[in-house]
Amino acid sequence: MKIGTTVYISTVILSLAVVLMPAPLLARDKTDVLVMKNGDRLTGEVKGLDGGVLYVNMDYILGTSSVDWSKVARLESKQMFLVRTEDGTVYKGALNTAEAQGGRPVKIQVVDALEKEVVIDRSQIVQMAETSDKFWQRFNGEVNLGTIYSKGNQSTQYNLSSQTEYLRERWSASASLSSTLSSSTGASASTRNDLTLSALHLLPWKNYFYSGLADFLQSSPQGIQLQTSVGGGIGRYLKNTNRARIFVLGGLAWQHTGYQEAVYAAGTQNLGAALIAGGIKLFRFNKTNLDITATLFPVLTEPGRVKFNTNTSYYIKITSDLSWNISFYGNWDNQPPPHFSGSDYGSSSGLSWTFGMR
């Protein structure tokens, strides 16, 4: 019990350090101008756009305000932004609203450092992220933490998850960690730790990209000491709007798994597999969002064997940077080694804190 708890606490401290270190520390001048369709004029610092919500900091309002993107008539900012459109194209530059005649769609001008200009319909813009020449100010992320305690059987469950993303014009890199610890009187502590590193680069064709990932899993219920999965493939955004983001990806992967040697004499397994992944993210203006990712590994070196994992989170907004989340995780293997469990799954709930554009 004490050993498992110590390992878990160490993991929590390390993951928090990794996620929080990139958080932007310096604020800029709040000189961006927003004019709403009803004529209201706001001056502040535009942080970014995601899920149809424009996030703005203003001197006279505490915290970050959420503005409905569809109700913005004009936007002007000298700050550099990464602007992503529905077809997956990414632009970098300062923002200004192009002149539009009455009744015509609002268009946003993006002007880069070389004074090159592109004009985009507001409805085509699905994401904007404040960027900078400073490395630490290009990160966005979140931290989720929760705990459950029952006096009846002296059981305790802790859960921690965190994500951070680094954005550039044509590519992005991200890291995510999920960790749980369950303990009760008279039973061994159960732990699960999952760290995923991934990178994505846009291809010349609209909505297509190639991506690589590395995943490191430890699961005591499945007897997995360390499972390393490395793979990559080609993906496509099926839908990419201010209300939904859906993608699929196909490729190949290699997987090395170290099991508890006291139960499995061979100790390790090396597998080659196909990689089929997908994700769905649904938004509702400043209220809720649903995030689902799933990965399927049909094992090529052992025909008939299939591995599958998924992570699902549902967020309910409390304040601009704070949400309540309900999460589900699961790993399945239809042909595990003898005497090992083929599944490990669970759910949790807790608070989520975001930084950057998220």
Q: Which residue has the higher pLDDT, 253 or 23?
A: 253
Whether the per-residue pLDDT at 330 is higher than 80: the answer is yes
Whether the per-residue pLDDT at 1 is higher than 70: the answer is no
How high is the mean pLDDT of the chain?
82
Q: Clarify whether residues 69 and 116 are in a common domain.
A: yes
Q: Which residue has the higher pLDDT, 271 or 139?
A: 271
Q: Clarify whether residues 129 and 150 are in a common domain.
A: no
Q: Which two tokens stand for residue 237?
A: 């955004």
* Residue 127 identity (one-letter amino acid): Q
Q: Clarify whether residues 128 and 173 are in a common domain.
A: no
Q: Clarify whether residues 168 and 234 are in a common domain.
A: yes
Q: Clarify whether residues 127 and 152 are in a common domain.
A: no
In this prediction, residue 134 carries a pLDDT of 60
Of 112, 133, 154, which residue constitutes the final position of a domain? 133
In this prediction, residue 6 carries a pLDDT of 47
- What residue numbers bound the domain in which 341 lies? 2-23+137-355
Q: What is the pLDDT of residues 97-109, one digit of tens each?
A: 876 555 566 788 8
* Residue 59 identity (one-letter amino acid): D
Buried b (16+ CB within 10 A) or exposed e, 169-182: beebbbbbbbbbbb
User: For residue 344, what is the domain's CATH number?
Assistant: 2.40.160.40
Q: Clarify whether residues 209 and 335 are in a common domain.
A: yes
Q: Clarify whether residues 128 and 141 are in a common domain.
A: no
In this prediction, residue 161 carries a pLDDT of 85
Rg (CA), the chain: 22
Of 133, 167, 186, which residue constitutes the final position of a domain? 133
In this prediction, residue 265 carries a pLDDT of 66
Q: What is the pLDDT of residues 281-328, one digit of tens each?
A: 998 877 888 999 999 999 999 999 999 999 999 999 887 678 899 999
Q: What is the pLDDT of residues 189-240, one digit of tens each?
A: 788 899 999 999 999 888 899 999 999 999 988 889 899 999 999 999 999 8
DSSP 115: -
* Lowest mean pLDDT, pick from 78-82, 109-113, 183-187: 183-187
Average pLDDT over residues 120-135: 78
Q: Clarify whether residues 226 and 333 are in a common domain.
A: yes
Q: Clarify whether residues 242 and 341 are in a common domain.
A: yes
* Residue-by-residue DSSP string for 192-240: EEEEEEEEEEE-SSTTEEEEEEEEEEEETTTTEEEEEEEEEEEEEEEEE
Of 133, 154, 170, which residue constitutes the final position of a domain? 133
Q: Clarify whether residues 111 and 48 are in a common domain.
A: yes
Q: Clarify whether residues 60 and 149 are in a common domain.
A: no
Average pLDDT over residues 57-73: 84
* Lowest mean pLDDT, pick from 75-89, 202-216, 239-253: 75-89
Whether the per-residue pLDDT at 18 is higher than 60: the answer is no
User: For residue 46, what is the domain's CATH number?
Assistant: 2.30.30
Who contacts 38 (Cβ-Cβ below 8 Å, separation ≥6)?
71
Give the count of domains, the chain. 2
Cα angle: 85, vertex 89, 92; to 5 degrees: 90
Whether the per-residue pLDDT at 159 is higher than 70: the answer is yes
Per-residue pLDDT band at 149 (split at 50, 70, 90) = low
Percentage of the chain lying above the pLDDT 90 cut: 30
In this prediction, residue 152 carries a pLDDT of 64
In this prediction, residue 25 carries a pLDDT of 42
Q: Clarify whether residues 127 and 141 are in a common domain.
A: no
Name the residue among 307, 294, 300 with its Cα closest to residue 271.
300
Rounded to an integer, what distance in angstroms lies between the CA atom of residue 237 and that of residue 135? 28
Who contacts 80 (Cβ-Cβ below 8 Å, separation ≥6)?
92, 93, 94, 113, 130, 131, 132
- Residue 281 phi, psi dihedral angles, 5° rounding: -135, 120
